[in-house]
Amino acid sequence: MNRRGRRLIAAIAGVVALLFVGRWAAGLLADRRWAAQISPAAVDFLTDWHVLRLTLDLTGFLLASAWFIGHLLIV
C-alpha cells in the first residue's frame, strides 16, 4: 500500500471516530440540559452515567478488536 492509500485510510478512520465522538457528545449535552431542569444532582448522575457507558463501550470495542486480531493471527 502506498503513502496515498495510508493517508486515505487514516482520514476515513478519523472521520468515523469524529462521528462517534460527536454523537456521544450530543447525547451527553442533551441529557445534561434536560437533567438541569430537574435538579443539579441529576446532572452529575447523568454525566457519570454517560462516562461509564463510554468507558464500557470503548473497553468492549478494544477487547473485541484484540480477540479478532488474535484469532486472525493464530488461525
* Span 7-51, pLDDT tens digits: 999 999 999 999 999 999 999 999 999 999 999 899 999 999 999
Distance CA 19, CA 27 (A): 12
* The pLDDT of residue 43: 94
Give 39's contacts (C-beta < 8 A, 6+ positions apart).
none
Distance CA 56, CA 54 (A): 5
Amino acid at 45: F
Q: What is the pTM of this model?
A: 0.73
What mean pLDDT is predicted for residues 49-61?
94
Give SS3 for 75.
coil
* The pLDDT of residue 1: 75
* The pLDDT of residue 40: 87
* The pLDDT of residue 71: 93
